[in-house]
Amino acid sequence: MTLHQLKPHFPWITLLALVAVVGVAHPNFLLPANLISMVADIMPLFIMALGMTFAIYIGGIDLSSQSVANMTTVLATIALPGLGLGAALVCILAGLTMGAVSGFVTTRLLVPSFVSTLAVGGIAYSVAQYLSGQRALYMDVTLRDASFGWMIGSSFGIPHEIVVGAALLALTWFLQSRTVFGRALKAVGAGEPAAAASGLPVRRIKVLAFALSGMLAAIAGLLFSAKLSGGSPTLANGFLLPAIVAVLVGGTPLTGGVGGVINTLIGTLIVAVIRSSMLYFEVDATMQQMVFGIILIVAIAATIDRSKMRIVK
């Protein structure tokens, strides 16, 4: 086997190796209860990373995810008393809209996605500040349990966050692998000029990809706010870096076209294992951001398809 053939298998080999290393040093890590709670804790991040996958898959990026998630934590908390479960719908629609706006600005107004999503992120942040009155808000616990309780409960020892994450994974996997839209996404990611030349509505596909990214970021925010029983314009801060890391470490390169949501699952689990291993090996928590930043650079350098970029800007 050559290195080239081995490349697609790197992510899960990395994951197994990491689990083995941590497991040998600290056998407690491998206790099912521990693993399950680790996976449950990472679910909001996983859902955001799922959305990010679509933006990166078509060769773009979504820097607004964190702000959109922040906005939804506030939105969910405010809408809960009046709308009950309807609050979830409001959040999803808001995320969808934000993502679609990013997509529109990118494809129609020809603004590169890292700028358009940064700008839309700024707008989402302002909305969150406005709606929350710049305060941290709390959900009424009975109301929360009545409407969102199903998201954060637990049955047969499996926390419901994992069920929500798995359902979204199944849904996005189906979209990506079993629909015409999914095929079109791959075509756009693999080579946009060719996709356009073969008659695909490239713009519409890209707008949809960004809309999906926004929607999943919103669901991530919703789950997070249900979990913490509140919302604030900064609640989800710190999600952006690990979400991008999860997608890239999983093997979806910045240049798009290969990889996908299953890769992101593996990437997210790698992020989760690294995070908890830092606790086990008593690495100072202040190291975390630096470590993930360096991992991000390594992951990009290892996965990026340089044949697609004649000039690197």
* Of residues 116 and 147, the one with the C-beta less far from another protein: 116
Residues 275-294 that bind another protein (CB under 8 A): 284, 286-294
Cβ partners under 8 Å of residue 30, min gap 6: 19, 23
Q: Measured on CA atoms in the order 306, 61, 278, 31, is the torsion positive or negative?
A: negative
Pick between residue 135 and residue 178 the one whose CB is nearest to another protein: 135
Query: What is the C-alpha separation between 295 and 14, in angstroms, rounded?
Result: 12
Is residue 300 involved in binding another protein (CB under 8 A)? yes
How far, in Å, CA of 159 to CA of 34, rounded? 12
DSSP per-residue codes, 61-74: --TTHHHHHHHHHH
Please choose, out of 9-17, 74-82, 103-111, 151-159, the segment that lies near another protein by the rule CB under 8 A.
103-111
Helix segments in the chain, DSSP class H: 3-6, 10-25, 32-57, 65-83, 86-107, 113-132, 141-152, 160-178, 180-190, 192-197, 202-228, 240-250, 261-280, 288-303
Query: What is the closest distance, in whole angstroms, from the C-beta atom of residue 247 to another protein in the complex?
Result: 12
CB of 250 to another protein, least distance (A): 16
Q: CB neighbours of 47 closer than 8 A, spacing ≥ 6?
A: 164, 165, 168, 216, 217, 219, 220, 223
- What is the total count of residues that contact another protein (CB under 8 A)? 53
Minimum distance from residue 168 beta carbon to another protein (Å): 25
Closest to another protein by CB, 37 vs 97, is: 97
User: Does residue number 198 form part of the binding site for another protein (CB under 8 A)?
Assistant: no
The answer to whether 257 and 272 are in contact (CB under 8 A) is: no
* Using rule CB under 8 A, residue 71 touches another protein: no
Question: What is d(CA 151, CA 134) in angstroms, rounded to the nearest whole number?
Answer: 27
The reply to whether 157 sits near another protein by the rule CB under 8 A is no
- Of 44, 51, 95, 121, which lies in the binding site for another protein, with binding defined by CB under 8 A? 121
Smallest separation (angstroms) from another protein to the CB of 24: 27
In the list 127, 226, 265, 269, the residue contacting another protein (rule: CB under 8 A) is 127
Q: Which of 129, 162, 166, 173 binds another protein (CB under 8 A)?
A: 129
* The three-state (H, E, C) secondary structure of 249-262, written as one string: HHCCCCCCCCCCHH
What character string, x for contact with another protein (CB under 8 A) and - otherwise, covers 236-265? -----x--x---------x-----------
User: Which of the ranges 33-41, 85-93, 127-135, 138-146 carries the binding residues for another protein, by CB under 8 A?
Assistant: 127-135
Rounded distance between C-alpha atoms, residue 194 and residue 17, angstroms: 39
Listed ranges 7-15, 57-65, 214-222, 266-274: which one lies at the site for another protein (CB under 8 A): 57-65
Asked if 313 is part of the footprint of another protein (rule: CB under 8 A), the reply reads: yes
Taking the least distance from each CB to another protein, the nearer of 47 and 245 is 245
224 HSE (CA, 13 A, CB side): 32
- Which candidate, 288, 251, 213, places its Cα nearest to that of 63? 213
Give the interface with another protein as residue ranges (CB under 8 A).
58-61, 63, 105-107, 109-116, 118-123, 125-127, 129-130, 134, 192-193, 241, 244, 254, 284, 286-294, 296-297, 300-301, 304, 306, 309, 311-313
